[in-house]
Structure 1
Amino acid sequence: MNSSAVQLRMTLSDVAALAKVQRPVVSMWRTRSAHGPAPFPQALAVERGLEVFDADEVAAWLEATGRGNNAEASGDAAAFAVRAGVGRDNRNVFDAVTALLALRAVTGTPLTGRDRDSLLDAADESDPDDAFLYSEIEALADGLESTAEYAERLIDSAYSVPAAFETLLADRFRSGIREHADTALTEAATHLVASAALALALSLESEPVFVDPTPGGSDLLLGIVRAAGDGLPITALTPDGDDASARLVRRRLAAHGIDSQLLKMQAGGTFDVHGPAVHLAQYPSPGEPGMDAGGILAAIESIVMQMDDSQRAVIIAPASTLCDGALTASAGAHRSELLRSGRVRAIVRLPQGLLRRKPREAQCLWVLGPSFAEVDIADRWTMVADLTAARLTPDVVHDLVSDVVASMGSGATVRAHSFRFARLVPTRHLLASRGSLVELPSRGGAGEAAAGAEAALRIEELQELLMKYDGSVPAAVSVLAQSGGRLAPATVQELLSAGTLRYIKGNRLDPADLSARERTRVIGTAELLDEEATKPRSISILDFAAKYPSGRLTEPGDVVFCTSPRPAAMVDAEGGAVVVFPARVLRIDAGDPGGLVPAVLAADINSLPPQDKAWRQWRLRRTPYRQRRPLEVALAELQHEQDLTRQRLQQLDELATLILDGVAGGSLTLTDPTSTATTEGTR
């Protein structure tokens, strides 16, 4: 092979990946070898602000000097490099390379040693209808032979055609297909969707086809292939469009040897699939990365409308569209119509971090299945789960998939299953909800009354015990059990949107401005996490006003909170403190508190699991208006008693220390009043 005809280029970051070292190590090699007998290869050019090097020269240098941790650097170089011209500035070359890889998979014969006409003949024979690769190969007027050599070398370096194809897609920015980069899911998300879809497929009576109706989508189908291994033959249906994203999907499936067929799409994105099928869809999709909530719900409706009871669907999309509140009126009505169809069997809110380009955007899973049309809509139910604070570990995925599969069954089947994450909610409650669909509904009827009665009895017992200790009862209030009448919890975001809460950022202060001698208190993460052990910090109010003119002080009743390393909060009852970032403030509107009580808000935050850092989605309990003031009074009394108890404990600790040190040091002698009195009486 004439390697000079296939010049591969790599950046210093690519060199580090090839050599299996950290990026700074390569810079050190380059600097130290500059004046030695074997200097690091010279840069070929500067592309988009980055120096690029000849990959063959770099591999030869690594082999000659013994640097790095990859003994196979020469053979692996192509997998970490890119051919000159394959980048964001030349989509045609990228398309041609992927087409040649698909051709190699279809024909099973090497691409090297063949001229242009031979390659075009092979492409025409493999793709007579020009459905996925012929046009891409034909469009490369110059350098087709050298591009074929590069594709073959990429296969040798990656050890297989599928791996070579995935190498090109792995760095989606460099490959110039921005739409794929914008919608790429993490491996954990792809594995979850694929595992759920595969489990649903195995639960059907006959072998289904897997359908991805989204334009340009193929990651989920590839996830099915990886999850299934060699145990299940995969037949895929993808849209019949002739745009670049649709053709790339078909080339990718061909490279992996997947039996794929065309799904005829009709006007408006509708389609028909007959017989057992499992649909997989991610929205927004690579072919339509700019889809809004209305477009996503319309696309899901196309799936729902053509489904029968022998079909299933697993859909992943932004939680803001599928399960969160604050939708527009039209989008909310559209979502309700989909829920009313009875096909939405499970709704699972997933954690943040599953979308590579938008790690702060939470995703949601909808699982569609049989509608149980014979069941009255008032009696229908939907499985919901909130995994916002969970990590998608293998055990979590396994148990969640088990819950999802169980949700497909009838009422009797579902009641027999022991759910780990999910719970059953009457669909009518979801239709009536204006907030999150995965919000835990209030317990009504006998269950709530029983819980209240138990709490009331325990309160009376504790008050009697405290009366025995010192003759007083802190917060001597009378409580009664009741059912119903409570306000539903709401997320921080919902309360912010309603104006009930205000969010105030913490102040960024120079640590040199803090001291322990000034009078203005400072509250930061240290105070929130370990309030008693932290040395008091303060700042001069004059310095604060002069150096930080836009800074703010707290007001009485502000809730100061942080999210890292774990959620923590405290109520600043006094006000007038300086909050230091990353600590922040939630301020309840005095005119319209919306049922919020500072102490309850802080308690809700402190009870959250350590990994739950999505503070805008935290659910806060609310208190009815008539109970707000009595609750504040009772909590204030209890806080006073707790302070007195802490003071008493400190005094007891000091007393014990003085006695121990005095007697052990010989400066004090303990006397027994009983023995002294007896001795005096016998004299």
Structure 2
Amino acid sequence: MRTLTLQDVADLANVQRPVVSMWRNRPRVRGELVPFPEAVSRRDGIERFDPDAVVEYLKRTGRGNNTEVEYDAPAIAVPDNADLEELVVLLAWRVLTGVELAGTNPAERARLAEEYDPDDRCVLTEIRTIRPTGAVLEYVDELVEASFGLPDALARIEQGRLYRERAVRELTGDAVRILGRVVTECAVFLGAEDMTLRADGSTVSMAVAAECGMGVTSKDRAVLRRAVITGAGTGRSHAGEISFVSAVGLDAAAVLDRADVLVLGLEPGRIGVLVGPASALTDTLAGELQQRRADVLRVGNVMAAVRLPRGLWREAHRQNLALWVCLGGAEEQRPYVTDLAAIPDLDIGDFASDIAAALAQTDVRAFRYARRIDRAGVLAGGPFVPRGARAVGLSPAGRDSHVERVHTITLTTTTPLQPVDVLVEASPGRLKLRHRSLGELRDEGKLTLKRGNRIDLAHATSDGTVRVLPADDGLALDPVDAERLYPHSTRTEPGDVIFVQKPQPRAWVDTFGGAMVAAPARILRLGRTADLGPQVLAAVINETATAGSEWPSWTVPEMSADEAARLEVALADIAHYEAEARRRVEAARELKTALIDGVAAGALTLDAQPTTPGVAAADH
């Protein structure tokens, strides 16, 4: 029997899984009652649904983002009790023979397997032993028909229900791209034609081979079957070969076992790439594990070690992975290391160039990310890749520029901050303190709401004059671009209050006007009859509005027009004081950074004498 789970329905409709649950709870569609199909069975606590009923439901309701559900449903509705690897075997047999499976018997399939796989490299033994049902045979044929080629058919199997039931999560696409670029750079270094990747049987190795567009060599029959299906090509071991080993998900002892086999087994001139947990490959180890890693490193074949950022392994996104790049017969005493977890914006091209230079064992070029380390410290018990390790950089500026930078910043930090004082005295007071909501003020015409616009911040320029609020980093657009790209955008007027509701309500006063407002920020514009000014309104929002509340519910106190005017002036002075204080705090931060950079570059010394004679005389 072929059925669909709720996750299968989500995959078929091209939506997230919670959306399907929402459909079940909301049976009315455009005024018509269209209930979600009833489950036809339950297996291991998971409801199963009839594919035809689901397809009819999706077509009738128009729900989902797939207009071809009737074509995709046969590929997603896997027969119950089907085995993933059995499906891969049958798919590989179909690729080799070009014969449809439906209607064939075991003898026919075995005879064709002997004809097209005479050396029994990937399918002959399995075809002789498996006994698939007619539903499974028909499913494979329908899968091929519904897929965009045979590689897509394999991808549908390995991304579907059977693979999910294994509860195995592989690496992310970013991780595969990084590994693929490393392997490609290794292939360029070897310079041999017809390069192949010796895969270890993991799905990671197959993904990397596909990323690089390389054929594979392997002793693992499952790998060879997948290579046949994807058209990656298979071959025998030869000089133009890179060994790839994945130790992701293994404990430290097993990781070091694989590292030992890879490093010791590399012939001179052969390259191997190992990926695994950083806790075993690059971080600090103790006891026997540390000694085992030291023994592996003493061989001298590890050319580069890289600590990768978090989030590259779906099974444990908070754990770091690491990779080794090894070269047989290198006898490298000072390998290159880098901690990419400390790099905010990785340029994968420059990183790959560092790997190539590490393989060449040259210091002729400058490295952007990697630097050499003394292997002796690692063998003695230290981490292989220290946290934050990166390339040794050249000083970006000369001595005079460091001095000028400090002098420029101190022009702000040495300027006295003008104090702010407010004269007050007691008044008779009121028996009742009345508040009015912004919603009331809007209904009375004293307040107008203007919405912001979606603005692509990539259009901002350093010399732009049209400000974009409420950006904190001074973003601005060129006036011509602003008018051309956003001709109907709302511009601010002097005294407008710009605000955001989430995550915490905040408000700013634009005293100049003419700015664009980037959504989700909005504009509150006070009318002539309003009893309060923009500074009062912004201050009330910032100090009293609670997180999660909506702007019409925010309240402002009532006060006389004279008091409101005087309060507006006082709040403007306080806002100016706050802005100047923030400017000095920011300058103090920049001064600390400038001093550290200048002293570290050897361009500054704090052992300096006052240059003003009066100051020097006062010291004595």
TM-score range, shorter chain: 0.5 to 0.7
- What SS does the aligned partner of 1:236 have? strand
1:156 aligns with 2:151: no
**Cα–Cα, structure 1 residues 140 and 156, in superposed 2: closer, same or farther, change >3 Å?**
same
Say whether the 8 Å CA contact 2:276–2:323 is kept in structure 1.
yes
Match of 1:276 in 2: 240
Output one character per residue of 1:212-257: Cα deviation in whole Å (capped at 9) or x when no partner: 463x3243233222333xxxxx332213xxxxxx432232122112
Q: Which residue pairs with 1:410 in the alignment?
A: 361
| CA RMSD of superposed structures (Å) | 4.3
Correspondence list, 1:240-279, <5 A: 246-261=220-235, 275-279=239-243
1:390-429 aligned within 5 A: 390=343, 396-411=347-362, 414-416=363-365, 418-429=366-377
Match of 1:328 in 2: 286
User: Residue in 2 aligned with 1:266?
Assistant: none
Q: What is the aligned partner in structure 2 of residue 32 from structure 1?
A: 27
The equivalent residue for 2:455 is none
Q: Helix, strand or coil: the match of 1:154?
A: helix
Q: Aligned pair 1:434/2:382, yes or no?
A: yes
Q: Deviation per CA, 1:494-532: give whole Å up to 9, x if none.
A: xxxxxxxxxxxxxxxxxxxxxxxxxxxxxxx99xxxxxx
- The answer (yes or no) to whether the contact 1:114–1:145 under 8 Å persists in 2 is no
Give the Cα separation in 2 of the matches to 1:440 and 1:23: 39
CA drift of 1:421 comes to 1.6
**Alignment partner of 2:372: what SS?**
strand
Shift, 1:439, TM fit: 4.2
Q: How many residue pairs are counted as aligned between the two chains? A: 425
Whole-Å separation in 2 of the counterparts to 1:465 and 1:168: 66
Say if 2:89 and 2:126, in contact at 8 Å, map to a contact too: yes
Corresponding residue of 2:341: 388
CA contact (8 A) 1:190 1:220 kept: no
Unaligned runs of 5+ in 2: 417-502, 505-540, 545-588, 594-620
Which string of whole-angstrom CA distances, capped at 9 and with x for unpartnered residues, describes residues 624-679 of structure 1? xxxxxxxxxxxxxxxxxxxxxxxxxxxxxxxxxxxxxxxxxxxxxxxxxxxxxxxx
Supply the distance in 1 between the matched residues of 2:28 and 2:311 (Cα, whole angstroms): 41
Match of 1:357 in 2: 315
Cα distance per residue 1:373-424 (max 9 Å; x no partner): 4xxx7xx42211111144686xx2222112111111133xx332x3222222
Contact kept, 8 Å, 2:306 with 2:385, in 1: the verdict is no
Cα distance change on mapping 1:23 and 1:222 into 2, 3 Å: closer
Q: 2-side partners of 1:391 and 1:203: how far apart? A: 28
1:297 to 256, 259, 269: 256
SS of residue in 2 equivalent to 1:83: coil
Partner in structure 2 of residue 75 of structure 1: 71
What residue in structure 2 maps to residue 227 of structure 1? 212
Distance in 2 (CA, whole Å) between partners of 1:74 and 1:162 is 21
Partners of 2:415 and 2:74 lie apart in 1 by: 79
When normalised by structure 1's length, the TM-score is 0.54
- Residue 420 of structure 1 aligns to a residue whose secondary structure is coil
Residues 53/439 of structure 1: CA separation in 2 closer, same or farther (3 Å cut): closer
1:372–1:129 CA distance, 2 compared to 1 (3 A): closer
Counterpart of 1:225, as a letter, is A
Distance 1:442 1:157 in 2: 49
One-letter amino acid matched to 2:20 = V
Q: Is this contact kept in 1: 2:369–2:390, CA < 8 A?
A: no
Which residue of structure 2 lines up, in the alignment, with residue 13 of structure 1?
7
**Map of 2:116 onto structure 1:** 126
| Residue identity matched to 1:324 | D
Gaps of 5+ in 1: 1-6, 87-92, 229-233, 240-245, 263-272, 471-524, 527-532, 537-602, 608-683
1:281 partner SS: strand
TM-superposition CA deviations, 1:95-128 (whole Å, max 9, x none): 3211110111112233234344322322333334
What amino acid is the match of 1:437? V
One-letter amino acid of the structure 1 residue matched with residue 57 of structure 2 = W
Mapped to 2, the partners of 1:346 and 1:111 lie a distance apart of: 48
Contact residue 36 and residue 57 of structure 2 kept, 8 A: yes
Shift in Å, 1:136:
3.6
**C-alpha spacing 1:19/1:213, structure 2 compared with 1 (3 Å):** closer
Query: Does the CA contact (< 8 Å) of 1:324 and 1:437 recur in 2?
Result: yes
1:69 is paired with a residue of what secondary structure? coil
Question: Is 2:201 the counterpart of 1:206?
Answer: no
1:166 matched to which residue of 2? 155
Contact 2:15 2:64 in 1 (8 A): yes
Alignment of 1:70-109 (within 5 A): 70-86=66-82, 93-109=83-99
Q: Please give the per-residue CA displacement for 1:194-217, whole angstroms capped at 9, x wherever unaligned.
A: 221122112223226434463x32
In 1, distance between residues paired with 2:403 and 2:18?
Answer: 66
Residue 369 of structure 1 aligns with an amino acid whose one-letter code is L
- Identity among equivalent positions (%) equals 29
